[in-house]
């Protein structure tokens, strides 16, 4: 039998239990992190959102009934404790709580699927199977507090620049955009697909007079990739701005990244300490390396790469060795970029596309877009696609489409750069990869 909450409410979080409130009565609520029963004295470590407080129960100072109730507690059960804050040099952090009342709110089954005290580490697969318990570890929840702060910063920054947040459909009819594999779904009597990118919708919004838009939403890619930096469902931070070019887009992206890093460092220092990551605020401007220059750099360290081909993984790694932190690669060949990318007016074999890299990881890619209807149709045809299936998209270019540019930034890959994590799965609560569809 467990107790009910009734009108009992938490007064403090563990973090707030310091010597500043000694002798005060507090009500703490949380999970039992560890129990140490020494016979005549029991130590209960109560863990809540971002801290752990020691509940100290000496048999001679509390009632026999309460003492016996405390002795029966099990790891990871949920409790509420009313007690008095006491200073003690012998307690962790110099303070402890002497209990006066205990409520057992929810009992935990034992043994646990993994060790929340991290004495024995668990593999990522085991952790993801029991993600709700894995997230009880402060070293894991810290990642998501950092990700949350990053997303807040991005929204604040874009709102401060007068961007409008939009929502575009994630279900669509098109299977003909080319490129990545799509997930087919059943849409009543028809086949439909999950959205791979809000790209075409963002561009249609450029013809709407909104000028500056952004969307933070999931995108789905049905590629059978199986790496530490790919997932089949990720969050894309997508931005599009009218009356601007790719240089403006890069400048905006650079400012947004620096702002987010600065905010994370300012508001998440505890979390960064918890995961043991020394986050550095990058210097601006980020280095901008021409594609051709990048190919030469890669070749000069003995990694073969042809001019005109997309970066093989070995080339990314080579660049990661040479470069430190964030940098842009610009002037990509038109032939390896999608149809909506604007060719360089000086040299149409090159494009106004850029990638933002962090060492060996591509975290964003963007471009100035084609806004001329006829050129766009021509480019769609050149990529072996049928312009007819882009009717609704192409119509937006026929009645006054301003020049525009934008980018998509991978929220999880960006989080990897903010936490130093090497496995993208660590940055998603419930990741979806080639094999994992639950929980």
- Applying CB under 7 A, the residues found at the interface with RNA are 34, 36-41, 43, 54, 56, 58-60, 74-75, 88, 90-92, 96, 110-115, 117, 119-126, 177-181, 196-197, 199-200, 221, 223-228, 230, 310, 312-314, 317, 337-339, 383, 422-423, 425, 433-436
For the CB of residue 377, give the shortest distance to RNA in the complex, in Å: 16
With tokens 């404790």, the residue in question is: 81
Complex with RNA: residue 4 or 120, whichever CB lies closer: 120
Q: How far is the CB of 335 from RNA (least distance, A)?
A: 10
Least separation in angstroms between residue 426's CB and RNA is: 10
Q: Which residues contact 46 (CB under 8 A, 6 or more apart)?
A: 14, 28, 30, 31, 32, 33, 52, 53, 54, 55, 79, 81, 97
Distance in Å, CB of 196 to RNA, minimum = 5
Q: Which is nearer to RNA, 145 or 350 (CB)?
A: 350
Q: Catalytic positions, please?
A: 221, 223, 229-230, 362, 365, 413
> Do residues 418 and 146 make contact, with C-beta atoms less than 8 angstroms apart?
yes
Alpha-carbon span 180 to 178, nearest angstrom: 6
């Amino acid at each position: 039998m467990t107790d009910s909450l009734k009108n009992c409410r938490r007064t403090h979080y563990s973090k707030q239990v310091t010597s500043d409130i000694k002798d005060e009565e507090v009500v703490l609520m949380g999970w039992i992190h560890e129990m140490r029963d020494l016979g005549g004295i029991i130590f209960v470590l109560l863990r809540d959102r971002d801290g752990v407080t020691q509940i100290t129960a000496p048999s001679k100072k509390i009632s026999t009934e309460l003492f016996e109730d405390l002795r029966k507690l099990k790891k990871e059960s949920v409790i509420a404790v009313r007690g008095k804050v006491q200073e003690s040099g012998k307690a962790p952090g110099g303070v402890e709580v002497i209990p006066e009342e205990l409520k057992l709110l929810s009992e935990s089954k034992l043994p646990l699927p993994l060790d929340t005290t991290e004495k024995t580490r668990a593999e990522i697969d085991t952790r993801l199977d029991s993600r709700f318990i894995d997230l009880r570890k402060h070293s894991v929840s810290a990642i998501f507090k950092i990700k949350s702060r990053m997303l807040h910063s991005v929204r604040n920054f874009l709102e401060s620049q007068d961007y409008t947040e939009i929502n575009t459909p994630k279900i669509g009819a098109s299977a003909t955009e080319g490129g990545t594999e799509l997930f087919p779904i059943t849409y009543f009597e028809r086949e439909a697909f999950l959205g791979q990118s809000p790209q075409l919708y963002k561009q249609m919004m450029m013809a709407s007079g909104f000028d500056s838009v952004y969307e933070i939403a999931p995108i789905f890619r049905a590629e059978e990739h199986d790496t530490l930096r790919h997932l089949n469902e990720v969050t894309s931070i997508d931005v599009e701005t009218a009356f601007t070019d790719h240089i403006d887009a890069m400048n905006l992206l650079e400012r947004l990244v620096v702002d987010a890093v600065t905010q994370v460092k300012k508001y998440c220092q505890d979390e960064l300490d918890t995961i043991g990551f020394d986050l550095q605020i990058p210097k601006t401007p980020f280095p901008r390396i021409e594609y051709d220059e990048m190919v030469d750099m890669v070749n000069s360290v003995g990694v073969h790469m042809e001019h005109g081909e997309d970066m093989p993984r070995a080339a990314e790694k080579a660049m990661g060795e040479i470069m430190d932190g964030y940098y842009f690669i610009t002037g990509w060949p038109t032939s390896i970029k999608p149809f909506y990318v604007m060719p360089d007016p000086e040299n149409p074999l090159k494009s106004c596309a850029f990638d933002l890299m962090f060492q060996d990881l591509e975290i964003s890619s963007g471009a100035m877009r084609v806004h001329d209807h006829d050129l766009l149709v021509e480019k769609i045809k050149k990529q072996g696609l049928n312009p007819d299936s882009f009717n609704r998209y192409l119509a937006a270019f026929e009645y006054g489409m301003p020049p525009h540019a934008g980018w998509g930034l991978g929220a999880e890959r960006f989080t990897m750069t903010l936490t130093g994590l090497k496995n993208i799965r660590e940055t998603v609560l419930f990741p979806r990869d080639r094999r994992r569809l639950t929980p």
